[in-house]
Structure 1
């Protein structure tokens, strides 16, 4: 397996990597590999697909129809 040496890492970036490694119970090397995998191998955001899923889930909820006039009346009068 190839090896990689990283030079001149800013102190703040090193400290953040170290903190993340501790939080995830990983070594610095393991955290760096996980971070690189997440950044480089993640799939691009499919906004339209996510919006379709949200709309489908929302359609399954029994939400009342909100009338703009009723909303304004509630704002003006306050909660009971």
Structure 2
């Protein structure tokens, strides 16, 4: 949620300034966050919702690990050629 708060702010600033590259970055960061979670890499709070009382350490990443996973996904998305 914190990342989305920042990306929404960045997207708004991008629109105000007419900065297409910043808008693209914000959008791709949001997609990277969702993609990371959909790939099963998430923080404990989200994993607890899914696994409940069966939650174990293998089900979640700490904050730093999660940010690293999002960064990996984002790098791939940013380096991809436009369609």
Query: Which TM-score tier does this pair reach, normalised by the shorter chain?
Result: under 0.3
Which structure has the bigger radius of gyration? Answer: 1
- TM-score for both structures, normalised by structure 2: 0.26
Which structure has more relative contact order (CA 8 Å, sep 6+)? It is 2
Give me the TM-score of the superposition, normalised by structure 1.
0.26
Higher helix share: 2
